[in-house]
Structure 1
Amino acid sequence: MSYQLSAVVADAEVLREETRDLDHAVLAALRQDFALLPVTPQLVEELTGAPPDYAVEKPDPKHPFALALSPALTEVLARWSRRGPVAYVEAEFAGGLGYQAAVVWLQGERSWGPLFDSAFDRPRGQWPVNAALVELGVEPGAWIDPFAELGLHVERDTAGWLAHGRRGLSADYWDDLAEEWEERQSGVGQQPDGPRSVGDWGIP
């Protein structure tokens, strides 16, 4: 099953303040009072005044992102980071193969990254998205890593995150539905399957 992510992640209040006057900004709620802003071509053009550029070649350590982080876009994200740390995170997987990349700004400057990985032979906490989320201040919790702790596994692509944000869903929406289903099934004497584990990529 495929997974694709191109988003800004930051404290929810920071993103609400910085995007409240934008026509193409849709915020999706995450856990720990963070939010995710899906990065669409329309949003990039609204922020920078120009359409986005995308890499022709596959991302690699020297060119870690499919989306070109232009000086204009970088300036916007750096400006937002004066209110608190801001991360741009990118990931793409299909058939178990893919990559992650991330970068963080703080106080108007790039403070961490960019970091790229497609081998995933390091400890899970050192994977790019996990490491960037720690830089944002994500705390450990019941889930396997910061990626899952915030709920970045609950949608699988930009369209899913846009729908998530527009519907005002929480990161626990699917878990809440599962619990409701389990309660209904147990009420009629049936035993549902146990909860699914989070997979190797932080995706169920």
Structure 2
Amino acid sequence: MYCLQAVIVTEPARSRLLDAFEGARLVSLGQNLSLMPVTETRFDTGPLAACSAHGAVAYVEAEYFGGAGTQSAQVWERGETVLGPLHVDEDEPDPADGSPISQALRRLGVLKGDHFDEFDAVGLGRHRYTDDWLSA
């Protein structure tokens, strides 16, 4: 089982995100990005648009079990949605330009280099279990 529900923020918007979500914990992903877990069942994306006035912000979700799953992503910049919302169901192939999360990461400036994709380039696989990486 793999479940990721998080906000990914660029450095310029990092402090605004911390101000908007009291008690938020951020983890560095590299490539000038930070990851904030979303632990609430219902998450209001309104503050993300406001934070994006200072730098790009993405909301991402992934849920997989036994290799099958879904992905969703949306990106805001300058207070506006600039990508998405994107969604791929478990029975759908990824779009030609990559999975929703990889597209969002690319919009945030991630370079995949020699990695399989942008998801792999920032090591999102190591954040598969929110409780585990939050307590580390």
1:159 aligns with 2:131: yes
TM-score where L is the length of structure 1: 0.60
Cα distance between partner residues in 2 of 1:27 and 1:134: 20
* Alignment-derived partner of residue 104 in structure 2: 132
* Alignment-derived partner of residue 17 in structure 2: 18
* Alignment-derived partner of residue 143 in structure 1: 115
* Letter aligned with residue 14 of structure 1: A
Give CA deviations for 1:54-104 in whole Å, capped at 9, x if unaligned: xxxxxxxxxxxxxxx5xxx23200000001111000001111111000011
Q: 1:94 to 1:161 in 2, by over 3 A?
A: same
Report the identity percentage: 39
Instruction: Answer 1 or 2: which has greater strand percent.
Output: 2
Q: 1:132 to 1:149 in 2, by over 3 A?
A: same
TM-score where L is the length of structure 2: 0.87
* CA RMSD after TM alignment: 2.0
CA offset at residue 120 of structure 1? 5.0
Instruction: Answer 1 or 2: which has greater helix percent.
Output: 1
CA offset at residue 132 of structure 1? 0.9
* Alignment-derived partner of residue 90 in structure 1: 61
Q: Runs of 5+ in structure 2 lacking a partner? A: none
DSSP-derived class of the 2:53 partner: coil
CA offset at residue 123 of structure 1? 5.3
* Letter aligned with residue 33 of structure 2: F
Cα distance between partner residues in 2 of 1:110 and 1:93: 26
* Contact 1:124 1:130 (8 Å CA) reproduced: no
* Letter aligned with residue 83 of structure 1: H
* Contact 1:124 1:145 (8 Å CA) reproduced: no
